[in-house]
Structure 1
């Protein structure tokens, strides 16, 4: 099954499931769905940053400071966060990511998705999925901040990162 054929839950403005559709149709029609974002740090506290492959359905070749992805039909945010983090990092036995908050992301094209933000510490050697990750590194937070204005970032990840900073600051 291709990524475009994966079945996703369609949700309303209150994050209640109202239907199901293949991912390709969800993207094409801008249907509201669910995503999990996992902010990963290593033992030294550095942030996992990566550039997406050119073949990704959404935001190809852009940088991201989260791993994660869509929540499959019938899957919980928690299940998707762990599954996606292990898949993208290329690890097994990752601790369960800690849930932080959710927000409704709305893109410029009229699409929107409920976004659950998590964090996890990964002390395992990572072997990112070649189909998903073109480049990766663990960067100090200051380096991530410096690169915000230099690299082209996925817009939903950037929105999640800004909310994460506000969340940590108590806002």
Structure 2
């Protein structure tokens, strides 16, 4: 199936479903929907970082420190988090990612989605989808912080990353 044809729940400012439509239409019309962000780390605690392919519908060729994606119509955040983690990492049999928090991402220019943030340890060898991931590596946190000012990152991932850092420092 063409990703633009995937049916999504359209939600309001309180994350209540108000309609359904194809992903391509939701993006074109700036309709609010749902996404999941999964921070994947290897057994040594290094963060999975990747560069998106040039064919992605949003933020093509940019780097991201999360795996994830849209929540399908009628799908729960938890189910989407596991599905997306397994799809993007190219593995099966992962444990359920742990839910951390949810926030509303809104860039003020028509990109808005409820964003559920999860964490996951992946001890399995990864084989990311070639159609989703152009490059990847497991990087130490210090390296990721150094690259924040150098690489072009997906803006929603940066927003989730900053919120995750604040969430962890408040614990």
- TM-score, normalised via structure 1 length: 0.99
Q: Which runs of 4+ in 1 moved over 3 A?
A: none
Counterparts of 1:45 and 1:108 in 2: how far apart (Å)?
Answer: 34
Residue of structure 2 in register with 1:8 after alignment: 8
1:136-158 CA-to-partner distances (Å, cap 9, x unmatched) read: 00000000000000000000000
Counterparts of residues 1-171 of structure 1 (less than 5 Å): 1-170=1-170
- Give the match's secondary structure for 2:161: helix
* DSSP 3-state at the match of 1:101: strand
**Alignment RMSD, CA only?**
0.7
* Partner-residue secondary structure (3-state), 2:156: helix
Aligned to 1:58, what secondary structure does the other structure show?
Answer: coil
Quote the Cα distance in structure 2 between the aligned partners of 1:108 and 1:16: 20
Helix, strand or coil for the counterpart of 2:38? Answer: strand
Instruction: State the alpha-carbon separation in 2 of the partners of residues 110 and 33 from structure 1.
Output: 12
Distance 1:122 1:149 in 2: 27
In 1, distance between residues paired with 2:169 and 2:46? 18
For residues 103 and 148 of structure 1, the distance between their equivalents in structure 2, rounded to whole angstroms, comes to 21
In structure 2, distance between residues paired with 1:143 and 1:8 = 35
Gap runs ≥5 in structure 2: none
Deviation at 1:107, TM superposition (A): 1.5
Give the CA deviation at 1:109. Answer: 1.5
Secondary structure of the corresponding residue to residue 151 of structure 1: coil
What is the number of equivalent residue pairs in this alignment? 171
- 3-state SS of paired residue (2:25): helix
